[in-house]
Structure 1
Amino acid sequence: MRTLTQGFLFFGYLFLAMTVGTFIWRAGLGLGAGAAGAIGALGLLAAVHTFLSARADKAALRKEIAQVREAHRLLADAMESTQGALTELAEAIEAGALSSTEALTGEVRMLETLVQQMGDSIEHRLSKPDPVNPYEARHLAQSNTLLQTIHDALAENRVDLYLQPVVSLPQRRTVFYESFTRLRAADDRIMMPAEYLSVAEDEGLVASIDNLLLFRCAQIVRRLARQDRKVGVFCNIALSSLADETFFRQFLDFLSENRDLNQALIFELGQAAFDARGAVEARNMAKLADLGFRFSIDKTQTLDLDFADLQRSDVKFLKVSADLLIEQLLDLDGGPSVPSLRDIHPSDFAALTRRYGIEVIAEKVEAERQIVDVLELDIGLGQGHLFGEPRAIKEDVLAETDPPANFLRSSLRTAERRRFG
């Protein structure tokens, strides 16, 4: 288009120059004077064009520089706002902490159940006969040591809560947080999930870790609500927690007494776990929905989803990695690669989910270049290290959400006495 415009201008200038030359020639000044006049007029027009083009280019350059500076300023403001929001969140939790003498009857019952489950798992593991194979014996000893470390971390409340912001796009204003747990060993070393997850899964302790996270999230959101803080927290819930009738009954009682948190506490399941839910899990999800609580799906593996089923299950949020969104909605030919979505324009995908009451969140956003494609898809929420890494809530604040001192250890001893008489 720019080349075509330049061509039209050139022929326009040439026409004007020839007009000037013809006028001079017809005025009786001769053919040579007419030719000189035409050349002079063409040169003058070229000079004016060059001057105006240079000014326009400089103005455009100044505008682009101003836009880049504004973008950098917005990015710096967004990062500062995110960090400030997390700091304010921690301070609000600390300022609104309940006194240590407040009644914790419901929480105590829940935690006693969790500790008993952990104690039973440890006893079952240690009661197994020793293997004959030296390699298996060494591996079992290492697993038992790690298992004991996990158990001690849970029993002694060395479970840290981390929060990561979920922001609105393109403003990048924090509107939600996602919660994560990290265990600490006796020497305060942070244990990442990859270190202990396989052993914890084998021994059924993942549910206990998730349940403690549920309990802690509910307490923290409750404290924020008492400070009139309008903030939502995504909290993972294990499928085993939904199937555990003993735990779930106590947890449901706890939430029934705190149903005012239903807009602030959002329960999150992976797509595979959601698809694998049975009748018991679906029924217990419905009980939570009856109290007004909402659900989110993460670890999405494909966009070929049954949105009507998600709607029936009160799923209100769908977390999809930015790369998967781009891969399945913006392929090389400009259309969705998912067969069931090929009849819609990529930018209409978010509108489609909204018709089912589901808001898409682009997660694992790590680079600015991903934002351009995400915004093209009309995605209104984002999460990832670009907007802020998970940050730990202050340790002294977490301590205020714990049960009375030594409660977990005494409960474990009680569970052992009941088991062995």
Structure 2
Amino acid sequence: MQGLVYIFIASISVAIAGTAYFGLTFTPIEALLAGLIGLVFSLFLLERTLRQRDQIRLERSVQDLSRLLSTDAQAGRNLSQRMNELADLELGSRVDVLEADVSVLGTVVRELAETLAELERAHAQQDLSDPDGKGRRGGIEYVSSQEEKTAEPVIPPEVLREALADDRLVHHMLPIVTLPQRRTHGYDLVPRLMLEGDELAEPPDFMPGGDAQDLIAQIEGMALMDAITIARRSKTGGEPVAIYIPISSATLSDKQSRNQLMAILDANRAIAELLNFSLTEQQWDELQKKDGPVLKALAKNGAGFSISAISSLRLNFSELGDLGVRSVRADAKLFIDNPSHYTDFHTADIAAYVHRFDVDLIMCNVTTEQQVLTLIDDGIGFAQGPYLATAGPIRSDLLSQNDDFLQVNLAGQ
């Protein structure tokens, strides 16, 4: 803006010189001198105006500063008065009594939570073993994980092995979004098998059972490589996102796969905070019993865990946070329709309570807008489901360049 003013002043000076030369028949030197005089006079007026403006602005700033100092002085006097009042109180004995009461209350609450969790587990086992219950909890029908495991995949392991050899397994990204902004927080990596005619098979159609642990470990290893590449590319692009990688005992119980996993994590500590291993609550409990030190080693290397399909929110989240658990997942419909199934807290308080231990609460299987609005009212910060977003191919910019050191590392293992 000031440059335009200078241009305008120069134009006026040129106009004065032109007028003096052509209109007043001045000599060129006299016309030039008249133009310079006009230029100097204009600059003098401009400088004086700017100086007056700066003086007025400085005076206003001094006045504002004096008011702020006066306010601070008043606040200091009030604070001093309150400190004197507090000094006259006997706070030591009151604090001791309050700490004792809080300690007793914490013990009672912890014992109550543990008792309720045991009752919930016992009730769940009773429901699963009751043939007439047909998997009902709280009047809501569901399919247990044991029933899911008994279903045989449509694609036999031999065909899956050939498909892996032909590099026909791809991973798609299923977004997890924040509420209420509905921005992408992270991605679940979902394996899909490419069939003839550009068709894709979902995991239940080809994921093998317990007799093909090597195939499961191979698929999880491929997911880890894709996750590291995505995490590195997203962080380099300035928009880091959390990646959730499926993992099971097929990888953690095998010594070679476990050592390879540890080596890769150790080589990628810079992005370890973006890597989260996803597993069900049943898998978590089993791994805690069999491979507890392995889980602690993964957490020590910076990786986190996301526990899905939880049966209750009556958990020791402080302990889970210490073990590296960064998020737990619950079913949105069951949480909304029957919140007492998950927790004794009010639905508007449970997310804040869980977050106190640096654990995020993610609601899955969101299918309607009304569910989204209810979750927002309850303060739920993360959600996932077909209504919000479906799984899709990995963006090309996130996999455009493979990390060569990963290939070398895997080859060395």
Does TM-score exceed 0.5, indicating one fold?
A: yes
- Whole-Å Cα distance in 1 between the matches of residues 254 and 196 of structure 2? 29
Which position in structure 2 is the counterpart of 1:189?
199
Which amino acid is 1:348 matched to? D
- Whole-Å Cα distance in 2 between the matches of residues 228 and 177 of structure 1? 16
Shift of 1:169: 0.7
How big is each residue's C-alpha offset from its partner over 1:129-163, in whole Å with a ceiling of 9 and x where there is no partner?
A: xxxxxxxxxxxxx9998322200111222111111
In the alignment of these two chains, the number of paired residues is 255
Contact 1:297 1:319 in 2 (8 A): yes
Q: 1:295 to 1:278 in 2, by over 3 A?
A: closer
Structure-1-length-normalised TM-score: 0.55
Which position in structure 1 is the counterpart of 2:388?
387
Identity of aligned residues (%): 27
- Whole-Å Cα distance in 1 between the matches of residues 331 and 154 of structure 2? 36
Q: 1:292 to 1:377 in 2, by over 3 A?
A: same
- Whole-Å Cα distance in 2 between the matches of residues 211 and 236 of structure 1? 9
Contact 2:280 2:307 in 1 (8 A): yes
- Whole-Å Cα distance in 2 between the matches of residues 258 and 403 of structure 1? 13
The worse-fitting range, judged by mean Cα deviation, of 207-216 and 175-184 is: 207-216
Query: Is 1:352 paired with 2:343?
Result: no
Q: 1:145 to 1:182 in 2, by over 3 A?
A: closer
Query: Is 1:263 paired with 2:273?
Result: yes
Shift of 1:194: 2.3
How big is each residue's C-alpha offset from its partner over 1:210-232, in whole Å with a ceiling of 9 and x where there is no partner?
A: 22212221222223333333211
- Whole-Å Cα distance in 2 between the matches of residues 178 and 350 of structure 1? 21
Shift of 1:398: 5.5
Instruction: Tell me the secondary structure at the aligned position of residue 273 of structure 2.
Output: coil
Q: 1:170 aligns with which of 180, 187, 207?
A: 180
Instruction: Tell me the secondary structure at the aligned position of residue 263 of structure 1.
Output: helix
Instruction: Tell me the secondary structure at the aligned position of residue 305 of structure 1.
Output: coil
Q: 1:348 to 1:395 in 2, by over 3 A?
A: closer
Contact 1:160 1:393 in 2 (8 A): no
Shift of 1:240: 2.4
Q: 1:203 aligns with which of 209, 212, 219?
A: 212
Contact 1:157 1:402 in 2 (8 A): no
Which amino acid is 1:389 matched to? T
Instruction: Tell me the secondary structure at the aligned position of residue 330 of structure 2.
Output: strand
The worse-fitting range, judged by mean Cα deviation, of 319-328 and 356-365 is: 319-328
Contact 2:229 2:398 in 1 (8 A): no
Which position in structure 1 is the counterpart of 2:250?
240
The worse-fitting range, judged by mean Cα deviation, of 233-242 and 145-154 is: 145-154
| Consecutive aligned runs of 4 or more in structure 1 exceeding 4 Å deviation | 142-145, 394-404
- Whole-Å Cα distance in 2 between the matches of residues 212 and 293 of structure 1? 17
Q: Relative CO higher for 1 or 2, CA cutoff 8 Å, sep ≥ 6?
A: 1
| Pairing of 1:20-419 with structure 2 (within 5 A) | 146-185=156-195, 188-197=198-207, 199-204=208-213, 205-278=215-288, 281-329=291-339, 336-337=340-341, 341-342=343-344, 344-393=345-394, 401=402
How big is each residue's C-alpha offset from its partner over 1:285-308, in whole Å with a ceiling of 9 and x where there is no partner?
A: 211211222211112223233323
Instruction: Tell me the secondary structure at the aligned position of residue 172 of structure 2.
Output: strand
In terms of Rg, which structure is larger? 2
Which position in structure 2 is the counterpart of 1:128?
none
- Whole-Å Cα distance in 2 between the matches of residues 269 and 377 of structure 1? 25
Shift of 1:381: 1.0
- Whole-Å Cα distance in 2 between the matches of residues 298 and 166 of structure 1? 13
Q: 1:200 to 1:395 in 2, by over 3 A?
A: farther
- Whole-Å Cα distance in 2 between the matches of residues 359 and 258 of structure 1? 23
- Whole-Å Cα distance in 1 between the matches of residues 263 and 219 of structure 2? 20
- Whole-Å Cα distance in 2 between the matches of residues 201 and 396 of structure 1? 36
- Whole-Å Cα distance in 1 between the matches of residues 183 and 395 of structure 2? 22
Contact 1:153 1:186 in 2 (8 A): no
The worse-fitting range, judged by mean Cα deviation, of 311-320 and 180-189 is: 180-189
Which amino acid is 1:318 matched to? V
Shift of 1:394: 5.5
Contact 2:234 2:398 in 1 (8 A): no
Which amino acid is 2:387 matched to? L
Q: CA RMSD, aligned part only? A: 3.0
Instruction: Tell me the secondary structure at the aligned position of residue 181 of structure 1.
Output: strand
How big is each residue's C-alpha offset from its partner over 1:194-248, in whole Å with a ceiling of 9 and x where there is no partner?
A: 2223x45432222322222122212222233333332111111112212222111
Instruction: Tell me the secondary structure at the aligned position of residue 292 of structure 1.
Output: coil
- Whole-Å Cα distance in 2 between the matches of residues 219 and 189 of structure 1? 25
How big is each residue's C-alpha offset from its partner over 1:230-272, in whole Å with a ceiling of 9 and x where there is no partner?
A: 2111111112212222111112111111111112111111111
Instruction: Tell me the secondary structure at the aligned position of residue 366 of structure 1.
Output: coil
Which amino acid is 2:242 matched to? G
- Whole-Å Cα distance in 1 between the matches of residues 403 and 245 of structure 2? 18
Shift of 1:383: 1.0
Contact 1:214 1:237 in 2 (8 A): no
